[in-house]
Amino acid sequence: MRAAFPFVLVSAVLLPTTLGEGTYELLTYNARLTRTGIVPHYTERKKTLLQELPKLTADVVCLQGVWLDADIVELADAAKSVFPYYHRLSPTPMSKPPCPISNLLAARQCADGRCDLSAGGIAGAASCLAKNCESQLRSLPQACVNCALNTAPADLINCGLSPKPSFPTTHGLLLLSKQRLTNKIERNYTRQLSGDVEVPPRGYIAADVDNIGTVVCTQLEDYGHPDIFYVGAKVYTSAKDEQSSSIQVLLNSTFIKNRGSETPVYLLGNFNHGPFINATLAPLYSDLYNVIVGAGFVSPAVSMLKKCSVCKSNELANFDSFVNVTIYSGFLIDHVYVPANLANKIVSVERKFVGNATGLAYPLSDHYAISVVTSNEFKFPTTPPAATTTPAGTISPTGASFRPSINVFVVVLVWAAAVAGKLA
């Protein structure tokens, strides 16, 4: 929330603001910070983001794509003068290397001996590995896969040598707020099947935000996971199936449903879907977008902005080897979903972090941020329903008995990319 003053001084940071009392800004941004190379310039982009976060005028920020827990801590610390409250998945410290060295070497040896990973692209390499090295790949535990997801290919062997830095399942999410956060929760989207690992880990974090309502921060499965990686899978049949399942878990959450009647609920994140808007924007899983709209939400980015959040003109987006559909001018797949009954309260919507970042010859990410300014007379806390909170250091399951899940074909993708010296 903002007071009606021309400037707000927060810990020596001068923040321009023209919004009056009762208005607030919600921002979603996929920073795509991973050391694997899927989006280049990790070190330079992170350094700049650390400087840019405290300059944001938003009241609540949902960051995605921050896969290293150490990066999450560093970003939260850099922003704390302006965003004193934050929420992330509680990490579990590791006391041993995430990858058993024998399993790591066996998978690498099989890959080197049986597949030409430079031929046929990622899909071809993954198909070869799935056919010839399935048992070796299945032997890699979840913590090992997490490590591989956050390690440069040349350094993969370190995943079998040292427990530090740890590689917990972070979901890549960080929620920053200027207002107090209460009733913080964390959830996985995984189905309850054993014998598989999840790559990458998906879930959501949520909290009640004073004077704003309940805010959910999430990222759904990537549209770029080709269906070939789901052939024969135990869990999902396609990337779309995985995203559809995640949406149902999200919308059916007791925590969220209990708040819908008396507390505004806002869904922020990279949803990896969007409807047909015009001939320049490619629709993506538009029926899944309609599921969320049908549940009582609107996306101001769709109804008012009508511009891409992943754009062909963004040179970093062109590095993404997952993009296997025609891009047109781009996709609008990042959303701030607002309750439909508050659609008339929307003040403005815009993109941020567009164009080259300060001091860099490229943008901060292959995504642009989506910012929504809205107003509401809601005052919180009132008497919200009690939340089932998660103790620090644990991960909440979506069912009674949690077991990690997803299929070996996505694990294959990660390993194929690592051995080939590039990121899938």
Q: Which residues contact 398 (CB under 8 A, 6 or more apart)?
A: 187, 188, 189, 190, 191, 192, 249
Question: Considering the domain boundaries, does residue 298 fall inside one?
Answer: yes
What is the Cβ-side half-sphere exposure of residue 132, based on CA atoms within 13 angstroms? 19
Which residues make Cβ contacts (< 8 Å) with residue 289, sequence separation at least 6?
271, 273, 274, 275, 299, 302
Residue range 266-316, pLDDT digits in tens? 999 999 999 999 888 989 999 999 999 999 999 999 999 999 999 988 999
The CATH number covering residue 339 comes to: 3.60.10.10
CA atoms within 13 A on the CB side of 178: 23
Query: Is the entire prediction scored with pTM above 0.75?
Result: yes
Percentage of residues in the chain having pLDDT higher than 90: 44
- Does some domain include residue 4? no
Question: CA–CA separation, 282 vs 24, rounded Å?
Answer: 30
pLDDT score for 222: 81
The pLDDT of residue 46 is 97
Say yes or no to pLDDT of 351 above 90. yes
Quick one: tokens of 114? 């049986």
* pLDDT band with cut points at 50, 70 and 90 for residue 36: confident
Q: Work out how many domains the chain is built from and give that number.
A: 1
Tokens for 15? 């923040």
Residue 197, pLDDT score: 57
> Is 7 inside a domain boundary?
no
The residue written with tokens 């535990």 in the block is 141
CB 275 within 8 A of CB 290: yes
- β-pairing, 330-331 vs 213-219, is unpaired
* Domain annotation covers residue 3: no
What is the rounded distance in angstroms from the CA atom of residue 246 to the CA atom of residue 285? 13
SS (H, E, C) 43-61: HHHHHHHHHHHHHCCCCEE
**Element housing 123 (H / E):** helix 121-132
Burial class (CB in 10 A: 0-12, 13-18, 19+), 204: buried
Q: Domain range holding 290? A: 19-424
Confidence of residue 410 (pLDDT cuts 50, 70, 90): very low
- Residue 13 domain flag: no
How sure is the predictor about 107, in pLDDT bands with cuts at 50, 70 and 90?
A: confident
Strand partners, 16: 7
User: How many CB atoms are closer than 10 A to CB 1?
Assistant: 15
Residues in the chain: 424
Q: Which residues of 274-290 are buried (b: 16+ CB within 10 A; e: fewer)?
A: bbebeeebbbbbeebbe
Q: What is the pLDDT of residue 214?
A: 95
Cβ atoms of 306 and 277 closer than 8 Å = yes
Question: Rounded mean pLDDT of 54-62?
Answer: 97
Categorize the per-residue pLDDT at 168 as very low, low, confident or very high, splitting at 50, 70 and 90. low
What residues does 205 pair with on adjacent strands? 186, 217
5 domain residue, yes or no: no
Closest CA to 343 of 273, 266, 256: 266
2 lies in some domain: no
3-state helix, strand, coil in the chain (%, to 5): 30, 20, 50
Arithmetic mean of pLDDT over the chain = 77
The Cα 409–Cα 417 span in angstroms is 12
Residue 14 covered by a domain: no
Model pLDDT for residues 213-268, shown as the tens digit of each residue: 999 999 998 876 555 455 555 677 778 888 999 999 999 998 888 886 678 999 99
- Alpha carbons 273 and 290: distance in angstroms, whole number: 10
Residue with tokens 């198909």: 127
How far is residue 265 from each of residues 206, 258, 302, 341, measured CA to CA in Å? 10, 10, 18, 11
Let me know: does 181 contact 380? Beta carbons within 8 Å.
Answer: no
Residue 77 has pLDDT above 70, yes or no: yes
Nearest to 299 by CA among 273, 261, 263: 273
Q: Encoding tokens for residue 307? A: 């511009």
Q: Which of 348, 251, 336, 342 is nearest to 291 (CA)?
A: 251
Rounded Cα gap, residues 40 and 46, in angstroms? 11
64 has pLDDT over 60? yes
